[in-house]
Amino acid sequence: MPLPGDDWVVCPRCRTALEHTVRGGVPRPTCPGCGFVFFANPGVGAACVIRDGGGRVLLVQRGPGQFGAGRWCFPCGFVEWGEDVRAAAAREAREEAGVEVVLGEVVQVASNFHEPGKPTIGVWFAATMVDLAAAPIAGDDAVAVAWFDPAAPPPLAFPTDAALLARLSAGR
Ligand SMILES: [Zn+2]
């Protein structure tokens, strides 16, 4: 599979012609002029697993233009550069589901390959709504938000969400 940077011709810093030097078994775009080396790394995503007193989970429906548009997922998104992963998870709950949450333990860590050219690593946190009576409101990238029985989820955008829901519905 092509790696990001395979087709780069000149250094983005100094415009010297790039070489592709093997480091750690992988060819990396490397600049003989300024020493720049590009390492293709997966992105990091953070998700919130918010449950109500009855064990239902809060899912959001993904909006147009996104991967899996029209399908559902846990509130989630990319961790920004310099942002704490837990802060990112709480931010996504606020932005996509309109709820303030307190984060608990990590319930899943997994690699995501649903977009082969854009691999990511996801961290799913258990989360509890600060106000248990609050009504979630879809926002940002989400077009709807609703509670679901983990054993009967709607069509899902991500295989890793499906795996986690299967575990939750089995009580594990
Ligand atoms: Zn350079």
* Distance (Å) of CA 163 to CA 79, 101, 108: 22, 23, 10
Dist CA 121 CA 94 (whole Å)? 21
Give distance in angstroms: CA of 29 to centre of ligand 1. Answer: 10
41 CA → ligand 1 middle, Å = 20
Distance 86 CA to ligand 1 centre (A): 35
| Identity at 148, one-letter amino acid code | F
DSSP code string of 128-155: EESSTTPPP---TTEEEEEEE-TTS---
Tell me, in angstroms, the distance from the centre of ligand 1 to residue 163's CA: 43
pLDDT in tens, the chain (172 residues): 778 888 899 999 999 999 999 988 888 999 999 999 999 899 999 999 999 988 999 999 999 999 999 999 999 999 999 999 999 999 999 999 999 999 999 999 999 999 888 999 999 999 999 998 889 989 888 899 999 999 999 999 999 999 999 999 988 5
The token pair that represents 67 in the structure block: 């991967």
Q: Which amino acid, one-letter code, is at 31?
A: C
Task: Give the pTM.
Answer: 0.89
